[in-house]
Structures are given as structure tokens and as C-alpha cells.
Chain A
């Protein structure tokens, strides 16, 4: 029983990371119409920048600075590269571009910080187990869940309540009409891309406190993130959150019974969802069927 709880809890943590990554990816797919294979790369960049800055500005400062810098780099990348993909009906171009960019990020990180894993210090106050029976429930893990929940709520509040957020939601379905209403849709897309990469950077910093920093840390997450988006339904942000949590938990629970299948189970879930409900759990009708 305890083992099951342990694995389920781990799965939940994994799931919150997938959810946060999938949220950003989903925003970018929806408004920028670009399938961002470099999304994991932005996660890595956020983590390493936080690692480098932490000695100067502390863990808390780095927790904010890392993601913000990842968002800033996101704007630069969008302005200089990604925007040339807009209006190309064939997604192969954006796939090739972002896939290539993901490889470049990985190599740049390897060149600057080395291929070896690096430890990321977290405040000791957060590091101790909160209970002796459930040793795996550390303060930091609870903190991660709370932080991701907070970021998710903040994003949804932004999209619901701010004018900028409302325009992003409008643009997801009809960017052309948004532009005829005087909204600078170029800026809207840039900022949206940056919000997506900022969320990836945030996931990266939080993940660094649990795992180690490694140039490849994005690779393990990116495929699961895509699965989360597809399972949740392309175009649905809430679906991405659900999809992420679902596949994380499923992988965790599978680990308890049959560890070898834990990687495969998420693809099985995806296959089942695509067969039973091609639009995904909360996706819009008509997008894929």
C-alpha cells in the first residue's frame, strides 16, 4: 500500500510537470500555430539560468529570474525565427525549425555548463520530509505542487480577467478578426510565445530541485508533454492540465505494479483516447473528426 502511495505520489508530481509544460505548449500551438519541439529546451534553459543565478540572488530570486529569462529568450526566438513560420500551411517547416532549435539549445547548454549532471540547491527548510511514515512527501514536493497549482490558477485568471488574456483567447479561434479590431496581433503572438516559454522555464527550475540539472532533462519531458496535449485535446488549456495529471498518475501507478510498462502506458492512453474520442478529453468538436 505504501509503495503504491509512493508511486502514485511520484506520478502526481510528474503529472503536475507535464501539466505545466503542456499548458505552455498548448498556448503556443493554439495562438502561434507552431508545434514547438524546442519547448523542452526552454525548460532546460530556465533551469540552468536559475542555477547560475542562484548563488547571487538566492533560490527564491532564481525561481523567478530563470523563468522570466526563458520568456525573454522566447520573445527573441519568436521575433527572429518562429514568425517566419506563420502563414505556412504545412506544419513541417515549424517542426523542422523547432526541432533543430531544440538540438542547438541542448548543445549550447552542454558547451556552457558541461554534460555532467549538476546539483541544484534548494532551501533546507523545504527539503525535509513532512512525515516519517510517508518519507517521500518532502516539503519541497508539496511546494512544487502548490507552486504549479498557483501558476496554473494565475494563468487562467490572466486569460479570463485581463484584456490581453481575453484577446489571446479570441485570437486562438480567430486571429484575423482580432486584428481588424485594432489589436496588434504580432505583439499578441510574441507575448503569447513568451508566456509559453516562461511556463516551461518555471517547470525547469522546479524540476531541477527534484532531479539534477542535465542538458537532456527536457528530452524526457517533451514527449510526455505532447501526449498530455493530445490526450487533453488540442486547443483546450484545461484539457492540457487534465491530460498532464492523468498520464503522470497513470505512469506512477503502473510503476507500482509493473515498472517496465510505465513509459509505455502513456502512449497506450493516448492511443485509446484517439480511438474513442479523437478530439481529446476537452478538445473542440470538429478539429480532428
Chain B
């Protein structure tokens, strides 16, 4: 538990880093090509006001949108061995890591924060697709194990928000071993009797889907997110057929019984509050007071 000694120290650098997008800027939606005023997009949680396209967002936006105002703190994650295979393709893995750190201002592809959601203690582990495609390596395993330990320590719920292409090839077999490692993490939370909710966002594929992301007590998908084990191009190359329309999208998974619900981003926080409330407070305060008043009435 050595990592716990410094878990509450927030990453100052990440929190105060300069936002690069100027306030008065027009952006184009990738889906409908319509222009959107940047400030409107932020106010709408990066969902296109014209076509409802849910754009990819990172931990910063997620934490702010889901936790109670000013309630959350990021935790510093344990460091892992860097580039265990000395991997080099067209670029060295260490250089890729460096570039991604500079571009995203984040250390790794997962960030963990703890805080409250409707005053209920909650730990969120959030993947960042902008960081090497949200790929899962040793750091993701450590992050999930740390998030689970912290949730158990604080009797908090665990929420994972996945956004990933799958395993980090540059860590070879060690990235495959993160499937059992992250599964251990969510199993520990379950065995502690605490809720684990998995939120699947665009995209969630590969080893992440085939481990912690599909093991939630409740599994929520964002609208039209790509979710699957094999990527659509791999499948197309294997079966040499055009894929059915809507294949591997959230709504398709809902139809096939693979997720509990598809929830628009603007309703995600209230949905989590409702679910966590029912799981964590099975006896609501109002029904308890009803019982109390009945007992008082009969004794008088």
C-alpha cells in the first residue's frame, strides 16, 4: 500500500495547465459538418447541438461533469516500468510516450480521481483515447488496481469510463496480462460489496472490452459508441462481407442484450446518481421516517 502515502497529492500541473482552445472559436462537427461555437460545445458537454454526435472527451471533462462541484481530487498513480520490451517500430516507444505526454498534458492513458457524486463517495477511473488510443498497458493495470484499493478503503463506488482501442502492443505480453489484473481490481470491489459501474464510450474495443469493461454490476453505453472485441476492419477482412448497419454500436449491443442501457451524455450524471443511490441506499430516508412515525403512533 506504499502508493497510498501520496495518493491525495493532486497533479497540480495537470489541473492548472493552459487550455489551448481560445474561447471564441468555431469548430466543425465531424459527423454533420456544421459549425459549432466552441463555448456552446463546452456547455453541451461536447455533444453536437445539431446532430447529437457525442465527441470524444478526456478525464478533465469527465471528472468535472460527473463529480459534485469542486469535490474531486486526482490521485497520483504508482509508477510502472517504462518500456519493458525496449520496443521500437517506426518510432521508439519511449518517444511515443513522450509525445503523447506533451500533447495531452497527462501522464498516461488512464486517470483516477476520487470525490462525491450526490454526496456519495465515488472513485472514477477514466481512459483517455487521445493518449495512444487509450491503450492498456502496465499503467492501466496499476491504475485500475489503485482505483479499486482506494474505493475499498473509502467504501466508495467504482466507475470506469472506457475509451480505448485495446491492448498496448508496445508492451507485448505484459499488456495481455492487464486483462486478468484489471479483472482482479473490479472483482475486489465486488467482493467488498461496493457497486462497480462500467461506462462504455466511443470506442471501447479489444482486451479492455474483454476484461473490466464488460464486468460492471451495471453497464452503460454512450449513444452510438463503437463497442466490441474485434475491430470492424478485422472482422470485415475475415468474413469478406459488408457488416450490418449499426454493427457494434451501443444501440446494437443493447438490442443484443450486451449492455443495460444507452444514456446520452447530458443524462449520465443523473443516471449514475439514481443507480448508485438505489444500490448504496437501499432504504431511502423517506421510507425509514414513515416506519418511525407508524411506530410512534402505535405506542401512544
User: Do they bind each other?
Assistant: no
B interface with A by C-beta (< 8 Å): none
